């Protein structure tokens, strides 16, 4: 397995950018220099993250998200 992360990755299994083998390794996200633990999806080239907002869900049962723009730095977590 390579040590490079994709430009875009999502935790939602319905997304075409979902890669369970990478998510199983453990990925951390630094957004504007701060560690974020509630990231649902990110894109490095476009510079945005989609964060889950609390426990609220939409009418289809998916978590509500908010999209923020800034510097995105994904990395593999070390145990």
pLDDT digits (tens, 9 = 90+) for 11-39: 999 999 999 999 999 999 999 999 999 99
> Does the residue 3 lie in any domain?
no
**Number of separate domains in the chain:** 1
> Does the residue 1 lie in any domain?
no
Distance CA 53, CA 66 (A): 7
> Does the residue 2 lie in any domain?
no
Beta-carbon contacts of residue 20 (< 8 Å; ≥ 6 apart): 13
Q: How confident is the model at residue 8 (pLDDT cuts 50, 70, 90)?
A: very high
Evaluate if pTM is beyond 0.75.
Answer: yes
Give the residue numbers spanning the domain of 39: 8-70+72-76
CB 50 within 8 A of CB 4: no
Token readout for 73 is 């730095």
* pLDDT tens by residue, 34-48: 999 999 999 999 999
> Does the residue 25 lie in any domain?
yes
């Amino acid at each position: 397995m390579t040590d490079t992360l994709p430009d875009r990755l999502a935790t939602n299994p319905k997304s075409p950018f979902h890669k369970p083998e990478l998510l199983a390794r453990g990925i951390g996200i630094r957004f504007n220099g701060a560690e974020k633990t509630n990231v649902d999806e990110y894109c490095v080239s476009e510079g945005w993250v989609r964060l889950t907002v609390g426990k609220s869900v939409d009418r289809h049962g998916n978590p509500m998200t908010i999209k923020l723009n800034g510097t995105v730095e994904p990395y593999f977590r070390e145990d």
